[in-house]
Structure 1
Amino acid sequence: MCPCSPRASLTSWSSFFRAAVENRSLRNGHLLHDELVRCGEDSQASVTNSLIRMYAQLGSIEASKSVFVRHPNPDVCTWNILLYAYGLNGLYQDAYDVFKETSTRDIISWTSVICLLAQNGCGIEALHLFYRMKIEGFQPNKVTLVGALNACVTADSYIHGLAIHVSIMELGYDMDVVIGTGLIRMYGVYGRLHAARFIFDNMPRRDVITWNAIISEFVQAGDFNNAAFMFSMAPERNVASWNAMICAYLQVGNGKMALATFHQMVLMGQKPNEITFACVLTAFADSLSLEDGKRIHLDVAKLGFCNIEVENALISMYGKCEAIQEARSVFNQIQKPDIVSWTAMIVAFTDNDHGEDALSLFRDMQIKNVHVDEVVLFCCLDICAMLSFPSEGECINDTIIKLGLEDHDMVKTALIDMYGKCGKLDEAQNIFYKCPQSNLKTWNALMTALAHSVCVEKVLFLLLRMLQNNMEPNDVTFSCVLTAYNHAGWVDGINQFFLSMKHDHCTIYTEDHLLCMIDLLARAGQLEQAELLIQNFPFRHDEWLAWQSLLAACRTRDDVEYVLHIVSFVPVVNA
């Protein structure tokens, strides 16, 4: 039937609009609009509303606005559809501005904007609107209340959540399944699991979304036993239920159970989705099961689930499994890699000792104007440190300054480490002293650089400054000081400091601390004292290194009997 035939109705036009949306054809949408104008039917309010909605669903917000502006007398329904158009296209601030412009509002108008603001992290503004709506005499419906509960989460306001719970009970919605699910999530976010469980237990009816909500809140709180129990009790499960449990096992580092749950999911006939595959690939990466990972990759390709999240997980999985060529192949097939894709590939190169490839990829990011983040910069600086590429490190430092990230703790620490390992101590110290707000890792990075350059006085000065700033040294700090003493050959100093670690700082000696002491004592000819340390402090991993240090020092001692005594220990340790 021709749209302009006498029998054409709104239903006919609506079906044509739906067809254009289903086919994702903006061109057909424009043709239909032109036909409406030719027929003189574009002034009908109902048709105009449908046009605004159609353009919004096709992603053409400008066309939606153009249709709205031409409407002679937009009613509240038309205004609401314009709000819907902005919201659908992620323009929540524009929707809020339109809402403030019009005085033609109903409960749908208020609810739309409250939900949009809450979904986009503007919880305070959403709560402000919610209370203003009530003052103006509008009674919230179920959707409004769920939006308000979400606003309490994004606004980080538990008190407002309690107040809205009171409103829910006053309105008699507390037994509603949708509202109950919203309350479970709100209480779960604030760690009030007893309240969440109480609401769940007292709900007269629960759907699969409610079960998923209580399982997810237990998972988020780290209560995996209760999460597993609720999962086992759920009368119905969907893909979100299974995903919640797979993610739960991954959070506690139990890749085997995550994979077992995945296999059970498939056996039960539940079709995985993109989130499932992304989680499962993470599990394979952690368990270093390359063959299983490849099989999942084939399944992903067959089912057509190769979205960006899954592809990024594939890169990480192949990288952790030392299959760098496969990782690069996946990366090269991504049409529009995002920052996670680039980062995953650079991390894969870094972890597999392909430092120059990682730096080359970093240069590609800059050429293509891809925004780099702290993780990428950290990896590249680490590579420059390992390969001793100070000039490349200088270029990365220029990028850091342009991005304003020179005060970022992780980046600053990596810069100091890079300059230190490249022998540029002045630059390392300049970075440190430019930013007074440093964390322990930053202090340790500079102390490490100075220790390896035999700057004992500077290391001790930094330790004193650290203590004056009420910063407690850790095992790495003590290793730096011991290393400095060791490289300088200061036997008396290291002995005093070693005792001070125990008495003044209640330190439990690590194997690194002991190896440092043993190495210096042995090289200083104090072999008996070094041997006593080895025998009095049990080693778990590196005892053979301690005996080897002692054996190497024996070359300078003309005492065959003592050398044979030491040699007798080495085979036992190596056995």
Structure 2
Amino acid sequence: MKASIRRLVSVPKSIHALARADLIKPAIGSLILCRSLGDPVPPDSFVAILKSVSSPKSLMCGKQLHAHMVVTDFNHDTLVQNYLIVMYGKCGSLDDAHSVFRLMSRKNLHSWNTLIDCYCKFGSLSKAQQLFVEMPQRDAVSWNTMISGYDHHGPCEVALEFFVRMRQSECVVDHFGVSSAISACCNLRFMNNGKEIHGLSHKVGLDLHLQVGSALVELYGKCQLIEDAVRVFEGMVFREQFTWNSMLAGYIECSNINEALHFFGVMQGKDVVSWTMLISGCSRHQMNEEAVELFHMMQEAGLWPDQLCFVSALNACVQMLDLEEGLNIHGQILKFGFQADAIIGSVLVALYARCGWFDSAKRVANALDYIDEFSLSVLISEYAKHGRIDCAYELFESSEAKTLPLWNALIGGYADLGLDEEALATFRQMKMDGINGDDFTFGSLILVSENLGSRYGEQIHSQTIKMGVESSVFVSSALIDMYSSSLVCEAAINIFNAIPKTNLVSWNAMISGYALNNMNSEAILTFQLMAVSRIKPDNISFSLILESCSSLFSLPGGMQVHAMAYKLGFESDVVVGSALVDLYGKCGNMHAASRAFSDIHVPTVVSWTALLSGFVRHGMWDAAKEIFKRMPQKNVVSWNTLISGHAKHGSGLEAFELYSQMTELGQFPDYISFISLLTVCGDSLLEEPGKQVHGQIIKTGYYRNAYVSTALNKMYQKLGNSPDKSNLCSSFCFPKFGDIRSVSEADAVSVDSGIA
């Protein structure tokens, strides 16, 4: 008798143990064996197994258990049937869940709520709402489930409607409903509604609840009310990881990246989301060195990067054109098995293309299951920027679907090279193919019109009005730039005044427009008006106004702006710091320029070039050469600074030597490089080198650039003859551009072999 009792007790226990260990099939087998032996099995044994069936992979096991329940007549137990609905919901079999619900003879409130929850989790909100309407009675769980469902899947306005109706019903609002409603306000950026719900939560004593407080921190952070977010955060007694991450996201959303870095340092616990959020934030705010450093620190802390983390780190490499670091990250991507990911692949294509590694870029693109239009547009654009417009056109023509981004890439490529007629002809062809342009298209065409004259610009302006994109921040800012460049500042002012809601970008464009027209006093006044309008300046604003101070050689005004930038936390910003270096350099205070340079947290190639330019401008060649030698990176502007400096000071031989070094190291020259060399040849009456430079200009396609064409004519006029393309030297003393690469691609065979 005692043995029999022990066996009856031990069988259910063994079923529970197997279920907890996720050994579903053995648990079901044990249950069936128990029933076949005639031993009673309590309902909680069925429930234990049903709790373990939680994914589509185990759906068949769940159906087998359901069949056994029907055979043994357990399918009439309401408790078990409710768990059966939950099981089918977790496995994504909503029809089976609804079938169980429909056949239930005794449905309770929990049965209705359970099925509604299943539909809400999978976004079947119309069916959930139909059940909600049919319910004989409702409780707070019913309302909260609907509010949460619409909050997650939208439209969020309906979530708020349910919340209002819940308050009007007899149900007591709890922290679940309040937090979901606040989340809906956050998604909609409904600040006023969010504040009203915050007031309600305070009135009923829910504002200090963990879930409500976390939702409020997220709301205020995303709505850029960082002070309110901090106040709620600091008033919370308990916080979870989501709360800390929401506060960190708030700092980043408000562009307070330095405060975000400080907050990150004191965070209690950091997960992959925390690290990725900060890495992405640094990358978006041009703090790319910090982004890469954080990426490595995260791995040193024992956390593995996910897809978004890799994308953010790669984006930082793209902005820095840091091919070496990009190769290292690509190796890790292969190690973690993300090489087939379309988003990561697109960023890798952008990295290799912008660094001139077109073979690697194409290999990455070809290894993807699907080459998206972003990757193709980047390749087209970068081919053009590197002077390989024929390759850009060939890739465009080979594309099966010529989408708007591909047309934009080709038009933008022509525009960047100054090939104005080709850009307009491509736009006309796009229109003939029945594709209308967007704000990016017209932004590129407006750039083109600056060289073609005001008549073309006015025509494009009228087209933007016709297409309804003239009020776009991108287009309106480009129009301001266009009219400002054409010295039609009054038109630029009219466009600025006609913008429905000016933002930081449009203010910056207007400040830049005044500066282009040498109206630097007006630029400074506009900067002051922007501050009065409570538009917080960014690093671009400060760099523009410092440039105006530089043009006026206004050292006192520049120092005032320097103090303001320091007060707003931009003292170590690389963009502002570079502008300060340029200001002090132009004003002849190289000691202050060097000090401003040392204040920059991580100087970029722009910062180094600004300091180099100051020493070159004042003929301090020893210091300039030392700076140039110490530069960790050099771009075409850095090389041009020294080349043009030598050209202006009559050191033609040094200018040509620098040009040869630049091309040998894989740096592609631009039109400024060629203009400097043509100036040297004309001033020094160097006919043969001049013809060689002319040959290089033809090979790279820059002969079609208006400024280069003018410099060519000036050189030949000084030489006393006209350009004769047929007698150009067949061999040049400079390297062939097609053979130039910034880094040997053979060095990355190990990475590329993993892509193919």
TM-score by length of 1: 0.75
| Equivalence for 1:184 | 116
Which residues of 2 match residues 118-197 of structure 1 at below 5 A?
Answer: 118=54, 122-168=58-104, 172-174=105-107, 176-189=108-121, 193=125, 195-197=127-129
Is the contact between residue 346 and residue 361 of structure 1 (CA under 8 Å) also seen in structure 2?
A: yes
| Equivalence for 2:424 | 495
Q: Distance in 1 between matches of 2:99 and 2:476?
A: 63
Q: Compute the displacement of 1:493 (Å).
A: 3.1
1:207 maps to 2:139:
yes
Which residues of 2 match residues 418-457 of structure 1 at below 5 A?
Answer: 418-457=351-390
DSSP-derived class of the 1:118 partner = coil
Q: 1:311 to 1:432 in 2, by over 3 A?
A: same
| Equivalence for 1:263 | 199
Task: Specify which of 356, 380, 390 is matched with residue 323 of structure 2.
Answer: 390
| Equivalence for 1:291 | 227
Q: Compute the displacement of 1:377 (Å).
A: 0.7
Q: Distance in 2 between matches of 1:234 and 1:76?
A: 49
Uncovered stretches (5+) of structure 2, i.e. residues with no partner: 35-40, 498-756
State the AA in 2 paired with 1:496.
Answer: A
State the AA in 1 paired with 2:180.
Answer: A
Q: Compute the displacement of 1:419 (Å).
A: 2.1
Q: Compute the displacement of 1:351 (Å).
A: 3.3
1:533 maps to 2:460:
yes
Moved more, 76-85 or 103-112: 76-85
DSSP-derived class of the 1:93 partner = coil
Residues 151-201 of structure 1 show CA distances to partners (whole Å, capped at 9, x for unaligned) of 222322232123212321xxx223x11112112223445655555445434
Matched positions, count: 480
Q: Distance in 1 between matches of 2:185 and 2:265?
A: 31
Residues 534-575 of structure 1 show CA distances to partners (whole Å, capped at 9, x for unaligned) of 3453332444644644664x6xxxxxxxx7xx4553454456
Q: Compute the displacement of 1:526 (Å).
A: 5.0
Q: Compute the displacement of 1:345 (Å).
A: 2.5
**Larger RCO, structure (CA 8 Å, separation 6 or more):** 2
Is the contact between residue 226 and residue 251 of structure 2 (CA under 8 Å) also seen in structure 1?
A: yes
Q: 1:210 to 1:84 in 2, by over 3 A?
A: farther
Q: 1:75 to 1:357 in 2, by over 3 A?
A: farther
Which residues of 2 match residues 28-43 of structure 1 at below 5 A?
Answer: none
Moved more, 327-336 or 480-489: 327-336
| Equivalence for 1:33 | none
Residues 411-449 of structure 1 show CA distances to partners (whole Å, capped at 9, x for unaligned) of 111111222333333322221122252222222232332
1:473 maps to 2:403:
yes
1:354 maps to 2:276:
no
Q: 1:419 to 1:259 in 2, by over 3 A?
A: farther
DSSP-derived class of the 1:402 partner = helix
Q: Compute the displacement of 1:92 (Å).
A: 4.9
Which residues of 2 match residues 78-89 of structure 1 at below 5 A?
Answer: 78-81=10-13, 84=16
Q: Distance in 1 between matches of 2:126 and 2:479?
A: 54
Q: Compute the displacement of 1:310 (Å).
A: 1.4
Q: Distance in 1 between matches of 2:286 and 2:450?
A: 34
Is the contact between residue 218 and residue 226 of structure 1 (CA under 8 Å) also seen in structure 2?
A: no
Residues 54-90 of structure 1 show CA distances to partners (whole Å, capped at 9, x for unaligned) of xxxxxxxxxxxxxxxxx99854544444555676xxx
Q: Compute the displacement of 1:463 (Å).
A: 2.6
Q: Distance in 2 between matches of 1:77 and 1:446?
A: 70
Which residues of 2 match residues 286-435 of structure 1 at below 5 A?
Answer: 286-300=222-236, 303=237, 305-334=238-267, 336-435=269-368
| Equivalence for 1:224 | 159
Is the contact between residue 416 and residue 431 of structure 1 (CA under 8 Å) also seen in structure 2?
A: yes
In angstroms, what is the RMSD of aligned CA positions? 3.1
Residues 266-305 of structure 1 show CA distances to partners (whole Å, capped at 9, x for unaligned) of 21223543332332222112111111111012112xx1x2
State the AA in 2 paired with 1:457.
Answer: D
State the AA in 2 paired with 1:213.
Answer: T
Q: Distance in 1 between matches of 2:195 and 2:57?
A: 34
Is the contact between residue 243 and residue 276 of structure 1 (CA under 8 Å) also seen in structure 2?
A: yes
Which residues of 2 match residues 2-81 of structure 1 at below 5 A?
Answer: 75-81=7-13
Q: Distance in 1 between matches of 2:342 and 2:218?
A: 27
Q: 1:149 to 1:535 in 2, by over 3 A?
A: same
Is the contact between residue 86 and residue 115 of structure 2 (CA under 8 Å) also seen in structure 1?
A: no
| Equivalence for 1:516 | 444
Q: Distance in 2 between matches of 1:330 and 1:323?
A: 10
1:100 maps to 2:36:
no
Q: Distance in 2 between matches of 1:492 and 1:286?
A: 44
| Equivalence for 2:664 | none
Q: 1:95 to 1:276 in 2, by over 3 A?
A: farther
Uncovered stretches (5+) of structure 1, i.e. residues with no partner: 1-44, 46-70, 555-562
Q: Distance in 2 between matches of 1:221 and 1:517?
A: 38
Q: Compute the displacement of 1:336 (Å).
A: 4.3
| Equivalence for 1:4 | none
Task: Specify which of 281, 291, 311 is matched with residue 217 of structure 2.
Answer: 281
Divergent runs of 4+, >6 A: none
DSSP-derived class of the 1:506 partner = coil
DSSP-derived class of the 1:569 partner = helix
Q: Distance in 2 between matches of 1:192 and 1:515?
A: 42
DSSP-derived class of the 2:54 partner = helix
Q: Compute the displacement of 1:137 (Å).
A: 3.7
Moved more, 430-439 or 213-222: 213-222
Q: 1:274 to 1:551 in 2, by over 3 A?
A: closer
State the AA in 2 paired with 1:480.
Answer: A
Is the contact between residue 216 and residue 227 of structure 1 (CA under 8 Å) also seen in structure 2?
A: no
Q: Compute the displacement of 1:394 (Å).
A: 0.8
Q: 1:296 to 1:120 in 2, by over 3 A?
A: farther
Q: Distance in 1 between matches of 2:480 and 2:243?
A: 49
Moved more, 153-162 or 305-314: 153-162
Q: Distance in 2 between matches of 1:98 and 1:363?
A: 45
| Equivalence for 1:247 | 183
Q: Distance in 2 between matches of 1:186 and 1:180?
A: 10
Q: 1:391 to 1:496 in 2, by over 3 A?
A: same
Q: 1:73 to 1:505 in 2, by over 3 A?
A: farther
Is the contact between residue 143 and residue 162 of structure 2 (CA under 8 Å) also seen in structure 1?
A: no
